[in-house]
Structure 1
Amino acid sequence: MSKTVLITGAAGFLGSHLCDRFIAEEFHVIGMDNYITGDQDNIHHLFKHPNFEFIEHDVTNHIDIAQTIDYILHFASPASPIDYLKIPIQTLKVGSLGTHNLLGLAKAKNARILIASTSEVYGDPLVHPQSEEYYGNVSAIGPRGVYDEAKRFQEALTMAYHRFHGLETRIARIFNTYGPRMRLNDGRVIPAFMGQSLRGEDLTVFGDGSQTRSFCFVDDLIEGIYRLLFSDYTLPVNLGNPGEITISEFAQEILTLTNTNQKIKYKPLPKDDPLKRQPNISLAKKILNWAPKVNRSEGMKKTLEYFRTLPESKLFKVDHKDFSKHIKR
């Protein structure tokens, strides 16, 4: 009999790709999402698949699933500054209450659970590149604190369940990831630059453009997550591509890729925006035998092809997410 995996945030960028991977591996997949930032279009192709079922639900509320669950992947959370600055309380709740509910469910089902953490736990790092031993440089009360601290608490709660209850847990610290199914207008640099290029707008760089990022193609990340889930390692593991580039250099790459002649305009750097971001993936190489394979040039071409297929309603609408129905208190 096939194993059953519950994937929260299933209609999101990463969650939908995880659903595809586990379906391909012949798991029975239960997708869960409340569509606060997810998009049904990302999983619409799975609705008629016999091994896929979907539950529309907010994980910050009690989760009741009668059937056996073997694995849980908790990927429900806003993941871009535009989102978690608009819904700060919901961001904190999904990292705390949502994680608590899912850890409790994993305990009740005797399931192994993998938690999606983030490189944002390192804050604006004073150590470069960032390894798992680094404790981070985070402002708890800054505008990004709602996301950073939600994820740091999520890690602490997960390790508490592992140590106190003996729960099988895994923690993935995910660095900047890109690829098809990103929301074009979610504020992250790759969809922002590509959207501006496709609309014929100038590219917006915040700060002087010397800040760095390291971009991992989604297929590589999904492979790392899959390997981590089935490993025996319980402490956090960095997953990302160590290929580092400045934002100014990256903007030039986008203009070359899209064959456009827009200008680059500079705006003030947002508060607490990290100046350096590069993963040390030595641990992932050692315990997972994993390293990214897709180079940035190849990955960016695939991502641009996806964005070019989007309808104009998504290309030209600055912010197509309506959070009002999700904000209760």
Structure 2
Amino acid sequence: MSVIVVTGAAGLIGSETCRRFHKENFHIVGIDNDMRARFFGAEASTSASRQALEKNLKNYRHYDADIRDAGAIEKIFKQYGGEIKAVVHTAAQPSHDWAAREPHTDFGVNAVGTLNLLEATRQFCPESAFVFTSTNKVYGDTPNRLPLVKQEKRWEIDLSHAYKEGIDETMSIDQTKHSLFGASKVAADVLVQEYGRYFGMRTVCFRGGCLTGPGHAGTELHGFLAYLMKCTVTGKPYRVFGYEGKQVRDNIHSHDLVEAFWQFVLAPRSGEVYNMGGSRHSNCSMLEAIDLCQQISGRKLDWKYVEDNRIGDHIWWISDVRKFQTHYPQWKYRYDLMGILKEIHAACVEQ
């Protein structure tokens, strides 16, 4: 029996991972205790997603465990041992703002939880691939020092710069303001790399930008495109924070990210790091995203601007994914920005 352990199994990326690997006849061990509902309230709960996994995937088994509990994690890993072929770690506290309110909880989930999973993997299934969903926030606000040009509806990098195609993995993660969330993810990211380099384990950090899709339980503090479309469809007011609404993000569909996971698991490497997002293929500013949501939905968004950019927030982020594409040339995007937004819109209308 081939087993994959998926943390945050009922979340956007976790549930996509469960479905993708289930198609490949893996037995899925899902770990998720719905802390998202605690972070962001009942509307962000992943309980419905968990129920769907249990109903639709015959080889899915759920564990309502907390990744901060080393004993609980060890018990699960010990049960399956060498049958575990891959660990995909997507569980996280994902919000800048929330981290500042409860630093111990944020660090416990993001850093200590990751350490518990790495050590359980090393003890019970050291040959398995270990995939970690890191974040571009490990670079702190260093991207804001790039030569940026203000355009009508977006910020854009000076196209003579080396990062004109996107920011690659050579950018320093040092001497920068991360936010406490970014700092806890840095700790986890470096741990994942070190278990690869020091112990020779098959580990990878995917430093994602905006991860999205129709299964995203978006809220104001997390889930940019999903929450924006939700507000446009329902008439709920939306707030744009800072940078004149011209801040740029690249957006990657959960399907495309998980397909990258699959390619890595097929041919794992040790201690790798990849920037992974929509790249030049799929990106937009806040103002551009508002225009697209209104265009697709046929409705006008009720929004206001707040002159208060969030601490450590990026003015411009586009990922350079060419390193991953070089290592895994079979990987291709399925979704562009319009494809992503149309799927999210359809999901909002169905709710």
Query: So what's the TM-score if we normalise by structure 1?
Result: 0.86
What residue is the counterpart of 1:240 in the other structure?
277
SS in 2 for 1:299: helix
Tell me whether 37-46 or 246-255 shows the greater mean CA deviation. 37-46
What residue is the counterpart of 2:152 in the other structure?
none
Confirm or deny that 1:255 pairs with 2:263. no
Tell me whether 115-124 or 201-210 shows the greater mean CA deviation. 201-210
Asked whether the 8 Å contact 2:213–2:253 carries over to 1, the reply is yes
SS in 1 for 2:215: coil
Give distance in 1, aligned partners of 2:21 and 2:234.
35
Confirm or deny that 1:60 pairs with 2:68. yes
SS in 2 for 1:215: strand
* Deviating 4+ runs (over 4 angstroms): 137-140
What residue is the counterpart of 1:213 in the other structure?
249
SS in 1 for 2:232: helix
SS in 2 for 1:274: coil
Amino acid corresponding to residue 18 of structure 2 in structure 1: C
Q: Cα offset for 1:270?
A: 2.0
What residue is the counterpart of 1:322 in the other structure?
none
Asked whether the 8 Å contact 2:34–2:47 carries over to 1, the reply is yes
Map of 1:72-111 to 2, 5 A cutoff? 72-81=87-96, 83-109=98-124, 110=126, 111=128
Asked whether the 8 Å contact 2:96–2:180 carries over to 1, the reply is no
Mark the runs of 5 or more structure 1 residues left unpaired by the alignment.
311-329
What residue is the counterpart of 2:154 in the other structure?
none
SS in 1 for 2:80: coil
Confirm or deny that 1:287 pairs with 2:327. yes
Give distance in 2, aligned partners of 1:12 and 1:186.
17
Where is the helix percentage greater, Structure 1 or Structure 2? 2
Mark the runs of 5 or more structure 2 residues left unpaired by the alignment.
37-44, 147-162
- Aligned pair count reads 306
What residue is the counterpart of 2:185 in the other structure?
151
Confirm or deny that 1:170 pairs with 2:204. yes
Q: Cα offset for 1:131?
A: 0.3
Q: Cα offset for 1:151?
A: 1.4
C-alpha RMSD of matched pairs (Å): 2.0
Asked whether the 8 Å contact 1:119–1:174 carries over to 2, the reply is yes
Confirm or deny that 1:189 pairs with 2:189. no
In the superposition, relative to structure 1, how do residues 21 and 42 fare at CA in structure 2: closer, same or farther (>3 Å)? Answer: same
Q: What's the CA shift string for 1:184-212, capped at 9, x where partnerless? A: 32533212322221222454222201211
Amino acid corresponding to residue 302 of structure 1 in structure 2: E
SS in 1 for 2:218: coil
Give distance in 2, aligned partners of 1:92 and 1:151.
8
Asked whether the 8 Å contact 1:60–1:93 carries over to 2, the reply is yes
Give distance in 1, aligned partners of 2:347 and 2:95.
19
Tell me whether 280-289 or 109-118 shows the greater mean CA deviation. 109-118
What residue is the counterpart of 1:270 in the other structure?
310
Give distance in 2, aligned partners of 1:229 and 1:91.
28
Give distance in 1, aligned partners of 2:11 and 2:268.
27
What percent identity do the matched residue pairs reach? Answer: 23
In the superposition, relative to structure 1, how do residues 35 and 86 fare at CA in structure 2: closer, same or farther (>3 Å)? Answer: farther
Q: Cα offset for 1:173?
A: 1.2
Amino acid corresponding to residue 20 of structure 2 in structure 1: R
